[in-house]
Amino acid sequence: MKAKIDRDGCISCGLCEQTCPEVFRIAEDDLAEVHSEVMPEWEEAVEEAAENCPVTVIFIEESEEEDS
């Protein structure tokens, strides 16, 4: 699984960072960013962050390995 953020639409609410700080953080420019690879144990929290993002700018891509 890979997580991506459309930073142009980010409103810096910090919910993603609160939900899964292992993957998301607020960068120096005050916008959320993905700062880590998504480990299997964090996938549920990443999905929760994407589902609860108030501006729906978090996107999840399944990795090719998972599709096999």
- pLDDT tens for 18-51 read 999 999 999 999 999 999 999 999 999 999 999 9
What is the pTM (predicted TM-score) of this model? Answer: 0.89
Q: Which CATH number fits domain 2-67: 3.40.50.1970, 3.30.420.40, 3.40.50.720, 3.30.70.20?
A: 3.30.70.20
Determine which helix (DSSP H) or strand (DSSP E) holds 58, and give its type and residue range. strand 58-61
* Amino acid 56: pLDDT: 98
Sign of CA dihedral 48, 49, 55, 60: negative
Sign of CA dihedral 65, 36, 26, 28: negative
